[in-house]
Amino acid sequence: MGLRLKFNLILFAIFAGGLATIAVVANRYLENQAIDDAQRAAATVLDASSFGNLDPRIATGIGSRMVEMKIREYAMADTVSGIEGQVVLKLKASRGNQISEILTTPAGERRLAVARIVRNAQGAEQVRLANVDLASILQTANIALTTLMSSIGAVFVAIFIVLNVMLDRMIVRPVADMARQADAVSVGDFSIPEFIPGSKDEIGVLGIAFNRMRRSTEEAIKLLKSAKF
């Protein structure tokens, strides 16, 4: 296995592990952030509908400009099912008058329910519910994640190319040249040109030392050939 292949395998393993970690952390962060934003939007719409005494249909139209949601109002004593029924049970079980939870519909869809207990003009308890579609929110978060990971992937490719070019010019080529010269010298062929250091770093110092050793070897061979025993 050559030096370049080893380097690239290690580099790929490091970047693959880093990208996987970033993907997991970023996905969790973006999803949580999207859900938090949806919760704030739903709470804002519920506040506006309370202060302005808005019809649920009007409040739904206002809320849908921010996130896909539906506003509903119904009495605590009403017989309801699905998300509405789950919300009533959650409100009854809670100590406060407001909940914000992710619930699952009978069809298996995940919905964000932001609900609070209010009183109508007759003093009866009612539930004001903002039913937010999580699918569209998470889809937006996934698009953001894809954009982020694509950008990081493009940076990785650029770094990968630059590092490979640097490795080739600074290490692989000089070492390969010295290896060819060492092979030639080992069989007594000194016709090959000397190694020309391209820098003053460790590879350049090694090249200078190699040239010095080559000259010493060549001189020693000449002395041996001219010696008379």
pLDDT of 187 above 80: no
Specify which residues 133 forms β-bridges with.
111
Grade residue 98 by pLDDT with cuts at 50, 70 and 90.
Answer: confident
Specify the pLDDT at position 228: 55
Same domain, 75 and 127: yes
Number of domains in the chain: 2
Residue 135 — pLDDT band, cuts 50, 70, 90?
confident
pTM score of the predicted model: 0.70
Q: Across residues 196-221, what is the average pLDDT?
A: 82
**Residue 218 pLDDT > 70:** yes
* pLDDT over threshold 70, residue 227: no
Q: Within this chain, do residues 136 and 155 fall inside the same structural domain, yes or no?
A: no
Residue 60 shares a structural domain with residue 83:
yes
Q: Is the pLDDT of residue 15 over 80?
A: yes
pLDDT at site 22: 94
Query: Does residue 229 have a pLDDT over 60?
Result: no
- At 199 the three-state DSSP class reads coil
Asked which of 113, 141, 169 is the last residue of a domain, the reply is: 141
Both 36 and 136 in a single domain?
yes
Task: Please say which residue of 115, 141, 167 terminates a domain.
Answer: 141
Tokens 């062929």 map to which residue?
A: 189
State whether 11 and 120 are in the same domain. yes
When pLDDT is averaged across residues 179-190 and rounded to a whole number, the result is: 80
Domain that holds residue 196: 148-226
Q: The domain spanning residue 101 has which CATH number?
A: 3.30.450
Alpha-carbon span 42 to 111, nearest angstrom: 12
Structure tokens at 89: 């049970």
State mean pLDDT over 27-38.
91
Domain C-terminal end among 74, 107, 141: 141
Q: Is the pLDDT of residue 27 over 90?
A: yes
pLDDT band at 51 (very low <50, low <70, confident <90, very high): confident
Which residue stretches of 52-133 are H helix? 56-63, 82-93
Report the alpha-carbon distance of residue 76 to residue 208 in Å, rounded. Answer: 89
Confidence band of 45 (pLDDT split at 50, 70, 90): confident
Region 138-146: mean pLDDT is: 91
Instruction: Tell me, yes or no, whether 21 and 44 share the same domain.
Output: yes
